[in-house]
Structure 1
Amino acid sequence: MHTMWKGSISFGLVNIPIKLHTATEDKDIKLRTLHKKCHAPIKYEKVCTVCEEEVKPEEIVRAYEYTKGKFVVLDEEDLEKLRKENEEKAVEIIDFVKIEEIDPIYFERSYYMSPNEGGGKAYSLLRKALEESQKVGIAKIVIRSKEQLAVIRVYENTLVMETIHFPDEVRKAADVPNVPSEDKVTKKELDTAILLIDQLTSEFEPEKYTDEYRTALLELIESKRQGKDTVTAATKEVATNVTDLMAALQASIDRTKPNKAAAAPPRKKAATKVKKEA
């Protein structure tokens, strides 16, 4: 499993060297965009809005727009220094809470935690302590130049770090439009709804849920491939230096042919003259 972060995590005086591994994967089917006329892939270029010319990667800088049309340019060296200063810090568990107190709206992404060299015993200690106390740890960590709030918990005998949103990143539910302020339902309607919920209630078994759209899309793609309903992208012919050189040489030969034909008779005449004198 690929390691995407190395560091250490601590609670109290206990320090655990760890590695993070992405716990989930995106299985969305990536579709390419093609030119309908020739089926060649579409190229997206970075173009300056003023110069109207393509900008090379080395000509691009990053900046913060503090007001419309005005920016603070940030040097890559400063950003890299800031990132390293924060990423190299040990991640400290700052609180322990019950996971039931955290609403699922806060959860973002999951990472498996494995002990790095020498961290096995401390890893086991934290895992056992979390299980016995039925608590989760709250910590801060910098991942990919972004500070994250995180929950550390146990999942199937493995420590998992769940990044969660900061409170100011969660929009207020009160701002959602057209939400009824009161429940205008009858007792009969409510009893019927609860009965339906009871009938559909079961144990959560994640294996029985599948992405039906993705499965159907893959089947459609495969059926088209098997039926030879495919296209081949057109290729652009690019003149090479070798081709250009050969063309230039041939043109030179063609240009010199008339000169050679004109020069041939005098040489023949000269040879005849010498023979007669002999």
Structure 2
Amino acid sequence: MPRTIWSGAISFGLVTVPIHVVSATEDHSIRFHQYHLADQGRIRYRKVCELEDREVPQDEIGKGYELTTTQVVPVTDEDLSNLPLPTARAIEIDGFVPLESVDPIRISDGYYLQPAGQVAAKPYQLLVKALGRSAKVAVAKYAWSGRERLGLLRVKDDVLVLHAMRWPDEIRDPAELLPPPVQVSDEEIEGALALMDTMTVDRLEGPEFHDRYTEAVAEIIEAKREEKPLPEAPEPEQP
């Protein structure tokens, strides 16, 4: 069972839904450590005070905002937990929009929202059924990790999903990346469309959609562990 990342409530008009937030995704990447080539000792990073030139334990470390190089304003977790924001303790739904109106570039990580106990079951189902019947998604605000964020609420298999979203001013203008003007014929476009038709799939599942890089790294690690020759890279396909 994934651990709870955040607990609070969804605020939807006069309806309040207590929820727990858990990650909707898993990272299966192979992780590497840095080590000393001479003796394979682990290389670790330590937290050192610049003024005292000594390692500092976690209970002596706090956060602060640097006004100048000599003046820091300390900010505690208690300060941040008592922010004068309605989104500090709740996911506030501000409106509903069609999903196709949301640019995918603004959508980020996904989280499952779990109802917090029996008291949340009915309002949770109410929001799930209403969203499902409306064919819309909810746009909400919430405050996590030191900032207020924009989110998108949708339904997946009768479970509410929250997607983190970028604010409009966080999206860069792609105009400067446009290629120089060129002419493309109708025949070339039709050829591209015909190729797209041959590559169309119904679902993003199957052997074509799995992480071959992680598998290849695992094969290298296993070969080195058993002191066998490394697997050879496949020949690239001809265009």
Give the alignment's TM-score, normalised by structure 1: 0.72
Distance 1:195 1:52, change over 3 A: farther
Distance 1:66 1:169, change over 3 A: farther
Shift of 1:207: 4.5
Q: What letter corresponds to residue 182 of structure 1 in structure 2?
A: P
Cα-to-partner distance string for 1:104-146 (whole Å, 9 max, x where unaligned): 1111110101111211111111111101110111111112333
Query: How many Å separate the matches in 1 of 2:25 and 2:156?
Result: 13
Cα-to-partner distance string for 1:185-228 (whole Å, 9 max, x where unaligned): 23332222221111111212334411101011112112222349
Distance 1:146 1:62, change over 3 A: same
Q: What letter corresponds to residue 218 of structure 1 in structure 2?
A: A
Distance 1:198 1:128, change over 3 A: same
Which sections of structure 1, spanning at least 5 residues, go unmatched? 230-278
Shift of 1:72: 4.2
Task: Quote the sequence identity (%).
Answer: 38
Aligned to 1:194: 193
Aligned to 2:210: 210
Distance 1:174 1:65, change over 3 A: farther
Aligned to 1:171: 172
- Name the count of aligned residue pairs: 223
Query: How many Å separate the matches in 1 of 2:228 and 2:204?
Result: 39
Which residues of 2 match residues 41-120 of structure 1 at below 5 A?
Answer: 41-47=42-48, 51=51, 53-57=53-57, 60-65=61-66, 69=69, 72-76=72-76, 79-85=77-83, 86=85, 89-117=89-117, 118-120=119-121
Q: Kindly name which structure, 1 or 2, has the bigger radius of gyration based on alpha carbons.
A: 1
| Equivalent pair of 2:88/2:142 in contact (CA under 8 Å) | no
Query: How many Å separate the matches in 2 of 1:181 and 1:83?
Result: 50
| Equivalent pair of 1:21/1:112 in contact (CA under 8 Å) | yes
Q: What letter corresponds to residue 142 of structure 1 in structure 2?
A: A
Q: Which protein is richer in helix relative to its size?
A: 1
Which residues of 2 match residues 128-143 of structure 1 at below 5 A?
Answer: 128-143=129-144
Shift of 1:47: 4.4
Distance 1:70 1:195, change over 3 A: farther
Secondary structure class of the residue paired with 1:121: helix
Cα-to-partner distance string for 1:67-112 (whole Å, 9 max, x where unaligned): 7x57643332xx4322344565332211011111111111111010
